């Protein structure tokens, strides 16, 4: 074998300068981490909470420099959470149980297990919802600087697009009770009575921090000049606007509607945020299906071919399609979802949707 060939087959020795640089970086990292660990323990033993948290922030900065952005963010979020006084974090009303007296017929209370992570959302929407959560969690920090978290939110979009689920997810993420305002109880035939009931709800917001959810808000938010403008509804809307404007509780007020076009323009500017929901595009629909079917084997599904077939279905319907397909698989004693399972569920859902589609939704879909 020629000398040159021999040289080529021999493993090249590591370049000393690079390797030693790597080793020294590695050692420096370990040293930094162990020093930080020692500092964390010391501050914990000394009961020096502020020092403990500032070391944790140093660790976060160190990890960020190493390119571990996600981990660094988690650390920073935890430190922020720890810095929020307990009273703010756990202002879960103690005797909240169920609303009593007149309030009982106006709001239904629940604790929500829903999390934002269970929702499949377009990036921009997810960012806006996360901002609400961050601002709420850092309420104390914002207040110190004379700032206030956004907390009066209007959700607008078609039926089944996730508005109610969002209210539940916000309550779940913030560990706050979810109070859903029951319109049947709120709106009465008698002048003045509705406004008085509305006042009870707004009073409750001051007393018990929570997520107050006004679903199908157009019932009270309809235009003051619209043809259906009966005196009582105008009065109710005016009171609502006034209550909303004056409210400076710590509660979140979330209103949802399918009919933004019916809402009075005066309402929009009184909300801190107006968030629009859309029917899912094929990527979101595919993601909902995949998430729902994640405990099954879906190798046999051709997602590309399915994409166009899910057009026009709302998120709620796509969820139902996934559930129906899953049931077929389970009842057949299989573990693999086939294309046919989903196609059959889509077909079935098409029939149901067309038969029960509301006129507004038919118009929305252009069918």
Ligand X SMILES: Nc1ncnc2c1ncn2[C@@H]1O[C@H](COP(=O)(O)OP(=O)(O)OP(=O)(O)O)[C@@H](O)[C@H]1O
Q: Indicate which of ligand X, Mg ion, none lies near residue 325 (CB less than 5 to 8 Å, by partner kind).
A: none
Do 74 and 64 touch, CB atoms closer than 8 A?
no
| 366 torsion bin: left (phi>0), alpha (psi -120 to 50), beta (else) | left
**In the complex, minimum distance from the CB of residue 295 to Mg ion, in angstroms, rounded to a whole number:** 27
Give yes or no for residue 180 binding Mg ion (CB under 5 A).
Answer: no
Kindly tell me which of 155 and 236 has the beta carbon lying closer to ligand X: 155
Q: Which parts of this chain interact with ligand X (CB under 6 A)?
A: 119-121, 159-165, 258, 288, 315-316, 319
**In the complex, minimum distance from the CB of residue 215 to Mg ion, in angstroms, rounded to a whole number:** 5
Give the orientation angle of helix 231-246 with respect to helix 193-207, to 10 degrees: 20
**In the complex, minimum distance from the CB of residue 153 to Mg ion, in angstroms, rounded to a whole number:** 14
Q: Which stretch binds Mg ion (CB under 5 A): 39-47, 50-58, 161-169, 192-200?
A: 161-169
Residue 10 backbone dihedrals phi, psi, to 5 degrees: -75, 140
Tokens of 155: 């959700």
Kindly tell me which of 72 and 119 has the beta carbon lying closer to ligand X: 119
**In the complex, minimum distance from the CB of residue 286 to ligand X, in angstroms, rounded to a whole number:** 12
Q: Indicate which of Mg ion, ligand X, none lies near residue 253 (CB less than 5 to 8 Å, by partner kind).
A: none
Residue 129 and residue 275: Cα distance in Å, rounded?
9
**In the complex, minimum distance from the CB of residue 172 to ligand X, in angstroms, rounded to a whole number:** 13
Q: Indicate which of Mg ion, ligand X, none lies near residue 315 (CB less than 5 to 8 Å, by partner kind).
A: ligand X
Residue number of the CB closest to Mg ion reads 164
Give yes or no for residue 315 binding Mg ion (CB under 5 A).
Answer: no
**Order of strands across the sheet that contains 177-181:** 107-111, 177-181, 211-214, 252-257, 152-156, 273-276
Task: With CA atoms as reference, report the closest residue to 224 among 216, 236, 234, 232.
Answer: 234
Give yes or no for residue 112 binding Mg ion (CB under 5 A).
Answer: no
What sign results for the dihedral spanned by CA atoms 127, 131, 364, 340?
A: positive
Q: Indicate which of Mg ion, ligand X, none lies near residue 319 (CB less than 5 to 8 Å, by partner kind).
A: ligand X
Task: With CA atoms as reference, report the closest residue to 173 among 294, 52, 254, 258.
Answer: 254
Residue number of the CB closest to ligand X reads 162
Among 164, 239, 298, 319, binds Mg ion (CB under 5 A): 164
Tokens of 15: 């370049």
Kindly tell me which of 40 and 274 has the beta carbon lying closer to Mg ion: 274
Write the DSSP assignment of 12-75 as a string of letters: PPPPHHHHHHHHHHHHHHHHHHHHHHHHHHHHHHHT-HHHHHHHHHHHHHHHHHTT-HHHHHHH
**In the complex, minimum distance from the CB of residue 167 to ligand X, in angstroms, rounded to a whole number:** 8
Residues of this chain that bind Mg ion (CB under 5 A): 163-164
């Amino acid at each position: 074998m020629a000398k040159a060939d021999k040289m080529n087959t021999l493993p090249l020795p590591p370049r000393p300068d690079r390797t030693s640089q790597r080793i020294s970086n590695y050692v420096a990292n370990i040293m930094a981490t162990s020093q930080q660990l020692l500092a964390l323990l010391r501050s914990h033993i000394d009961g020096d909470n502020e020092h403990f948290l500032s070391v944790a922030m140093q660790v976060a900065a160190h990890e960020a420099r190493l390119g571990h952005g996600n981990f660094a963010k988690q650390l920073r979020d935890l430190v922020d959470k720890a810095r929020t006084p307990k009273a703010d974090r756990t202002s879960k009303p103690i005797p909240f149980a169920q609303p009593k007296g007149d309030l009982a017929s106006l709001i239904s209370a629940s604790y929500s297990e829903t999390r934002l992570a269970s929702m499949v959302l377009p990036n921009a929407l997810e960012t806006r919802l996360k901002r609400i959560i961050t601002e709420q969690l850092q309420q104390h920090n914002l207040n110190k600087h004379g700032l206030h978290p956004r907390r009066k939110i209007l959700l607008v979009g078609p039926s089944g697009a996730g508005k109610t689920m969002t209210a539940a997810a916000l309550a779940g993420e913030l560990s706050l009770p979810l109070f859903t305002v029951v319109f049947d109880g709120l709106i009465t035939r008698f002048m003045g009575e509705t406004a008085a009931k509305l006042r009870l709800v707004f009073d409750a917001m001051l007393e018990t921090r929570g997520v107050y959810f006004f679903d199908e808000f157009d019932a009270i938010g309809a235009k003051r000049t619209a043809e259906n403008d009966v005196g009582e509804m105008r009065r109710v809307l005016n009171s609502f606007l006034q209550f909303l404007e004056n409210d400076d509780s710590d509660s979140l007020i979330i209103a949802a509607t399918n009919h933004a076009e019916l809402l009075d323009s005066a309402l929009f500017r009184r909300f801190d945020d107006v968030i629009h929901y859309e029917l899912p595009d094929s990527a979101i629909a595919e993601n909902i299906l995949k998430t729902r079917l994640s405990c099954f084997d879906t190798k046999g599904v051709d997602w590309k071919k399915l994409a166009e077939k899910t057009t026009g279905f709302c998120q709620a319907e796509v969820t139902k399609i996934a559930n129906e397909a899953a049931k077929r698989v389970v009842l057949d004693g299989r573990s693999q979802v086939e294309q046919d399972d989903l196609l059959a569920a889509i077909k079935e859902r098409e029939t149901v949707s067309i038969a029960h589609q509301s006129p507004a939704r038919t118009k929305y879909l252009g069918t």
